[in-house]
Every structure is written in structure tokens, then in C-alpha cells.
């Protein structure tokens, strides 16, 4: 499947507002969701502060008693914010992405992987 997070506007008390300010200009919560390849939600974790990093939210989801589980022999496509770990497949870092801008230079396997990811 695929896994990613999004920021949803949050209404919190004034004293809690600083921790809910992340990269957005407003208070938000970081909501992580996993979908299968039939586009059905298989897991959702809401409530993390907007300042929480994606990798922290994923770690919490994996450590919960009824948390996210990766089926044996399967994996989730994730963005680079989640990092590479068993069951999670991020794009290669520091790899050419817009290949047509590089002319006739030979293309490496990882350069083909990222746009298709």
C-alpha cells in the first residue's frame, strides 16, 4: 500500500497552540493514513501535534497495541520523511528526478525508481 501524512487544521487552547504549530501558519494536527492498492484506508492515526515529525508519528503507530502492521512479504510506499526501514519503501535520496533535463546521460536504476515511486 501507500502511507503518508497530512496536516488538518486544529482548534486547541491558547496554551497548547505553540506545539500544534509546525510548517503551517495555523495550528494543525499531523494525521497519518495508510491505504491499500484498492484505495481503501487500512489505518489512520490522528491527533499528533502539527510540529511532530512524520517518523515520530510512524513510530508511535507501530508501537501501539492495535497499531499499524505490515503484512508479511508486503511493504508500504512512503515519502522520504518516514525513512527506510523493513516494510517501508521511500524514494532514493539525492538522486536526479527530472531525467529529461539531463539530456542523453545514462540513467541509473534508482533514477528510474523515484519518478515511478
pLDDT band at 51 (very low <50, low <70, confident <90, very high): confident
Segment 42-56 shows an average pLDDT of 91
pTM for this structure? 0.74
pLDDT at 37 over 60: yes
Domain range list for the chain: 2-114
Q: What is the mean pLDDT of the chain?
A: 82
Paired with 32 in beta bridges are 5, 45
- Residue 98 has a pLDDT of 53
DSSP string, 13-50: -TTTGGGG-SSSSS-EEEEEEEE-TTS-EEEEEEEEET
Amino acid at each position: 500500500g501507500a502511507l503518508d501524512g497530512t496536516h488538518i487544521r486544529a482548534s486547541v487552547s491558547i496554551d497548547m497552540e505553540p506545539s500544534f504549530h509546525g510548517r503551517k501558519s495555523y495550528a494543525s494536527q499531523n494525521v497519518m493514513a495508510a491505504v491499500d492498492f484498492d484505495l481503501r484506508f487500512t489505518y489512520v492515526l490522528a491527533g499528533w501535534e502539527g510540529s511532530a515529525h512524520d517518523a515520530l508519528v510512524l513510530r508511535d503507530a507501530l508501537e501501539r497495541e492495535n497499531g499499524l502492521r505490515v503484512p508479511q512479504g508486503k511493504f508500504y510506499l512512503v515519502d522520504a520523511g518516514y525513512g527506510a526501514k523493513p516494510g517501508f519503501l521511500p524514494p532514493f535520496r539525492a538522486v536526479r528526478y527530472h531525467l529529461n533535463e539531463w539530456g542523453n546521460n545514462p540513467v541509473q536504476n534508482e533514477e528510474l525508481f523515484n519518478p515511478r515511486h
